[in-house]
Structure formats: structure tokens, C-alpha cells
Structure 1
Amino acid sequence: MKAIVQDRYGAPDVLELREIDQPAPGASDVLVRVHAAAVNARDWHLMRGDPYVARLMDKSTFGRRGPRQPVRGSDFAGVVESVGAGVTRFKPGDRVFGEADGAFAEFVCAPVTSVAHLPAALTFGQAAAFPLAANTALMGLRALEAGQHLLVNGASGGVGTFAVQIAKAYGAEVTAVCSTRNVDLVRELGADHVVDYTTTDFTRATAQYDVLLDLVGNRTLRDLRRPLKPGGTLVLSGGGVSRGGSLIGPVGLIIRGTLLAKLTRRHHIEVLEAVPRADNLRALADLAETGKVVAVVDREYPLAQAAEAIRYLEVDHARAKVVLTL
């Protein structure tokens, strides 16, 4: 099968389209013929081995010279080719979407715990945009209640566009932080208020929030806590932009947040760990079926142009999602 493979860390040029062996499903896996796969910031972090400290902290993912899994990609949508002996929920021919390492390929093996039936209302390209980003948004909003005021820093990105919509579906009031070119986009997705960070510093404004979801990682903890109400919740979810290599990057903010969470009583601080879950995918499928959440796809590229797709994500700061088609 054809797949996008890398042997060493580096810029997008390290990615190659190669013929490799087709994976075989284990007892609890499904083998999926991939029709579309989404590009995420996770892909360039793994591609570059960035930040460097991550190679030391997560040796199960990061090898010494390259990622443990040489095939990039994690989000996919496609058709079940075969299933493992212990799988009863899916059968060959089912249209599915989910998350598993090695999705930039003609076939991917995924554990049944991270796969769901594809909503009829979605194309393969739209469905592929959901798993990692929408699941992250869903899990990041667990503390949010109807009627509360949420601020999303990084509202026009892959996770942010889903977070704005999910929060509105929950009945929250949403303030979206983005650049000038994305103001109209986040308004169309339902944001009640928009802060253009090129002209306004949301951490210095007078508005106060019950929950602040930070998806950028470029502000200090003091800045991020300032607009929170007493007892409010700050959710940290990585972030960072590619600058060709960094030592610590957004990991520094995550570490400081983890430490402060044990010391402060004024605010709740949560460091988000978005684990792939089939029940979350099914909940997102329901939101998609009812039209409450849509996937915004900025660009589509053929599989062979995966390097160009990641380069676009890195350099041009793509709006919402970028998708590969097969």
C-alpha cells in the first residue's frame, strides 16, 4: 500500500510517499481503507520531534532519530476492509471515522475503542476533520455549563472552530479570540463576541469568564488567569507554532500549569489530555447529524502532497482543518 513515511526528524521534506506492507488487524482492531485523513499540529510536532524536550518525556512516541511510528497521520475516514476476531460492532463495508497512528496511508489499523460509524450527513473529507480536533474540544469543555461565559483563545484553528460550536450547543456564551482575517469565520460558527488579537489584548479587557480554553500556549499563566472569574476554570491544551525547532515550546506552560493547579484555590487549572474515545466520536456524530457542529475544511490535498499540506499548516497558519484525500 502507499503511505507517507519518515525515517528521521526534520522539515516536511523528510516525508516520502512509499510502498509499504499493509497492516493486519489484531483481535480488537478494524482495518480501514482510508478515503480521507486530516492534518493536525500533532503531525508537525512528530515530524520535527518538536519541542526537543518531548523526545525525553515521551519515549514511547519519540525515538532518538525519528518517531516510533514512521507513518504520519492520526485522523481518518473510510470504509471497513476487515475486522479482528473480537470485533462485533463493525463489519466490512461500514463507513467509519476515527483516530489511529498511521492514517496517512491507503489502509490503517485502528482499535475498536477509537472508531465510530460515520454520520450520513458528512462526506469522508468532513468526517476526517473531526476525530482529534473535535474530541479535544469536547473534552476541553467538560467544565462548561449552560449559561456560562467561555473564552476560546485560538478560536479559528482546528480545535477552536469545534470548541466554539460545541460550546454554543451546550448553551454557553462564547467569546472567540482570533486574527482579523478570521473574525467573520468564527462569527458564522456562532461566537457571540469576537476579540481580534491584533488590536485588542483579551487579558487586559474588563470582561470576565467562567471558563478559558487556551489553544495557543503563547501567554503566561498570569495573563490567562487575569480574565477569569473567581472559581473559574483555565483549560490548557498545548499549542505552539512551528519555528523550525524549539527546546521546550508550549510544554513549559503545561508544566507550570500542572504545578500551579496544586497550589492555587482562586481558579481551577486543568491540563487537557485528549484520549481517543469511541463514545465521544458517537456524541460528535450526533451533533453533526443535527447540524449543530460542522467541519470547516480550509484546503484539501491528495495524499502524495502531504508534505505541502503540513507546510501550509505550519507556515500559513491554516484556518480550521486541512484534509488529505485518497
Structure 2
Amino acid sequence: MKAYILTDQGPAMRDTPKVSPRPGQVSVKVEANGLNRVDLGMATGALHGARGGIGAVLGSEWAGVIDAVGPGVTEFKEGDRVMGASASAFAEYVVAHAAHVLPIPDAMGFEDAACFPVGLRTMHDAIVTVGKLEPGQAVMIQGASSGVGILGLQIAKVLGAGAVIGSSTNAERRARLADYGADLAVDSADDGWVDQVIEFTKGVGVDLIVDQVSGGVVNGNMRAAKLEGRIVNVGRLGGMRSEFNADLHALRRIHYLGVTFRTRTLDEIGEINRRASEDLGGPLAAGRLKMPIDEVFAFAQVEQAMGKMARNQHFGKIVLRH
């Protein structure tokens, strides 16, 4: 089968043997892939937990049709249309643990389905399990114009948030956030963004901030959060390190929480998938969760697709079609 592999001379399309599913796994003929930031890092040789390095098949998100099931798998069968987030996704076939696989809603095509698995589990975990959102609370998504961020806005809205705020430093993308659930969109590169958030929340601040940016917004987040607010760190697009105002952290009595899938066990990821599916499967099937597709590339054009993602000029998802 064809697969996009990291070689000692960089990523390249290569022929590689098709892998059979082991107990508890399914094999899927891939019809479409969604691109994610992690794919860029792994293409340079960076590890993602235990994944990556020379010889690794790149990619992390896919949609397709099950062509074989391993021993012990009872929840899926050959021919089922499914989507998932797992290693080695940029290939004609992918093998994944059945607990990490989600059914594709009947009315949804493969290209759309490939946009959801990473965002569904990431944002449900951050907003619900870790962030402990309660109906009526105010939520802010830092970095809301990314695919995961756009989904986070909608998940917060669907699950009953009283106010949803999103940030983007790009004016054109920021203007589109209202279409995906943002009641207020701010520019986190503007020194006045915290004041806008405080004013919008009538001087109280937000209950929950899901931060995909970190870097220079860390202290601003603490100022924008209400007393005893929660900040969930899911990404570091703005930098891994910054000055941290420990006194502000104490004064605001902030619950500052970090999450990543790199140190999760397979069983933990399966449970995260189960919870996300339980809460969001209905809204997804009903069309209440949507993802804009910025551009679709043929699988053979994966290098061009990765280049577009690296330029950070897209809104929503970049998709590969097989």
C-alpha cells in the first residue's frame, strides 16, 4: 500500500506492507484524512509521545470503511463506515484499536467525517471532563479559528454554555467565528482583549478558558478568568514558555490544568472517545456540529497540503481525499 513515511531524507510517499488487525483492532480502507498541527511536527522528526521518528507513517486523523476486524471485536464489522484519530493515518489502510473508532453518521461524507475525530475527543475532554463545564457558564477558546478551536466553540454551545468567546489574531478568520457559536470574538494580540472579555461578562470573567495558544496569553488568561476559574492548557501554538505571574495565579485562585494525549494509555483514550461519543454523537448526527473545509487535496498531493498548513493561512480543516 502507499503511505506517507518519514525517511532519513524527509517525508516521502512509499510502498509499505499492509498490516493486519490484531485482537481488539480493526483495519480501515482510508477514504479521507484531516490534517492537524501535530502532523507538521512529526514530519520534521519530532516525537509525539511514543509515536514518530524515521520509518514512521505520518498522519493522525482519518475516515473510511472497515475491511477487516481482529479477534474480539464485536462492535464493528466489515463494511462499516468509521472515523478515528490514530497513528499512521496517511496511508491507504490504517489499523486502529476498536475503542478509538467512531461510526460516521449516515448523512455525512468521508471528507467531512475526517475533520472531526481529533477535535471531538480533544475538546470534549478539555471542556467537560477536565474543564467541568456546567450549563450557563462562560467559556473562552483561545485559538478558536483552528479546526479544533472551531469545534470547541460549538461543543461549548451545544452543551449549554451561557456565553462563548473565541480568539483569533486574524481579522478575517475572527469575523467568521460567530458562525460557529462565538458570542464574542477577540484579538489576543490586542492589549485590550482582556478588558473586552471582562466587560462582556459584566465584570466577572469567564468560568473556563480552553487555551490552545499559551505563550504570551498565559497571564492574560488569568486576568480574564473569574475568581476560582479554570484554565485548561491543551496547546502551545504561541510558545512553550512565557513569564508566569505566580502572584496573579494565587490572587485569582485559578485552577490551571494541563492535558495531553501523549501520556494517555490506550484504555484512557478509549474512555475519552466513549464519553465524547455519548455526549456528542447525537448533535453530530443531527448536523449541529459543523466543520468548514478550507481545501481538499488528493492523497498524492499530501506535501502541498502540509505546506498549506505550515503557512497557517487556512480556516477550518485541510483534507486529503483518497
Structure 1 5/176 Cα, relative in aligned 2: closer, same or farther at 3 Å?
A: same
Q: What residue number does 1:109 align with?
A: 95
Aligned pair partner of 2:255 in 268, 280, 286: 268
Q: How far is 1:263 from its partner?
A: 7.6
Q: Tell me how far apart the structure 1 counterparts of residues 73 and 244 of structure 2 sit (CA, whole Å).
A: 42
- Cα deviation, 1:68-96, whole Å, max 9, x if unaligned, reads x6111111110000000111111110111
Q: What residue number does 1:230 align with?
A: 227
Total equivalences in the alignment = 301
8 Å contact kept, 1:97–1:128: yes
Q: How far is 1:20 from its partner?
A: 0.9
8 Å contact kept, 1:180–1:198: no
SS in structure 2 at match of 1:294: coil
8 Å contact kept, 2:295–2:318: yes
- Residues 1-326 of structure 1 correspond to what in structure 2 (within 5 A)? 1-8=1-8, 14-50=10-46, 58=49, 60-63=50-53, 66=54, 70-142=56-128, 143-172=132-161, 173-178=163-168, 179-197=170-188, 199=190, 201-205=192-196, 206-207=198-199, 208-240=205-237, 249-250=239-240, 252=241, 266-274=253-261, 276-277=269-270, 278-279=273-274, 280-281=276-277, 283-326=279-322
Q: Tell me how far apart the structure 1 counterparts of residues 84 and 308 of structure 2 sit (CA, whole Å).
A: 23
8 Å contact kept, 1:30–1:82: yes
8 Å contact kept, 1:117–1:282: no
Q: How far is 1:233 from its partner?
A: 0.4
Q: How far is 1:199 from its partner?
A: 4.7
Q: Tell me how far apart the structure 2 counterparts of residues 226 and 93 of structure 1 sit (CA, whole Å).
A: 51
Q: Tell me how far apart the structure 2 counterparts of residues 176 and 25 of structure 1 sit (CA, whole Å).
A: 41
Q: Tell me how far apart the structure 2 counterparts of residues 284 and 298 of structure 1 sit (CA, whole Å).
A: 23
Q: Tell me how far apart the structure 1 counterparts of residues 231 and 15 of structure 2 sit (CA, whole Å).
A: 45
Structure 1 264/314 Cα, relative in aligned 2: closer, same or farther at 3 Å?
A: farther
8 Å contact kept, 2:83–2:104: yes
Q: What residue number does 1:245 align with?
A: none
SS in structure 1 at match of 2:17: coil
SS in structure 2 at match of 1:211: strand
Which 10-residue stretch deviates more, 34-43 or 205-214? 205-214
Q: Tell me how far apart the structure 1 counterparts of residues 250 and 184 of structure 2 sit (CA, whole Å).
A: 32
SS in structure 2 at match of 1:288: helix
Structure 1 256/18 Cα, relative in aligned 2: closer, same or farther at 3 Å?
A: farther
Q: How far is 1:204 from its partner?
A: 4.4
Q: Tell me how far apart the structure 2 counterparts of residues 77 and 211 of structure 1 sit (CA, whole Å).
A: 31
SS in structure 2 at match of 1:25: coil
Read off the aligned partner of 1:315 and give its amino acid letter.
R
Q: Tell me how far apart the structure 1 counterparts of residues 84 and 244 of structure 2 sit (CA, whole Å).
A: 32
Identity of aligned residues (%): 30
| Structure 2 portions without partners, runs of 5+ | 200-204
Structure 1 78/217 Cα, relative in aligned 2: closer, same or farther at 3 Å?
A: same
Q: How far is 1:222 from its partner?
A: 2.1
Q: How far is 1:184 from its partner?
A: 3.2
| Structure 1 portions without partners, runs of 5+ | 242-248
- Cα deviation, 1:271-306, whole Å, max 9, x if unaligned, reads 122464331245433221122211221111111111
Q: How far is 1:31 from its partner?
A: 0.3
Q: Tell me how far apart the structure 2 counterparts of residues 282 and 95 of structure 1 sit (CA, whole Å).
A: 18
SS in structure 1 at match of 2:113: helix
Q: TM-score, normalised by structure 2?
A: 0.86
Which 10-residue stretch deviates more, 188-197 or 228-237? 188-197
Q: How far is 1:175 from its partner?
A: 1.0
SS in structure 1 at match of 2:231: strand
Q: Tell me how far apart the structure 1 counterparts of residues 244 and 41 of structure 2 sit (CA, whole Å).
A: 20
8 Å contact kept, 1:116–1:282: no
Read off the aligned partner of 1:171 and give its amino acid letter.
G
Q: How far is 1:62 from its partner?
A: 4.8
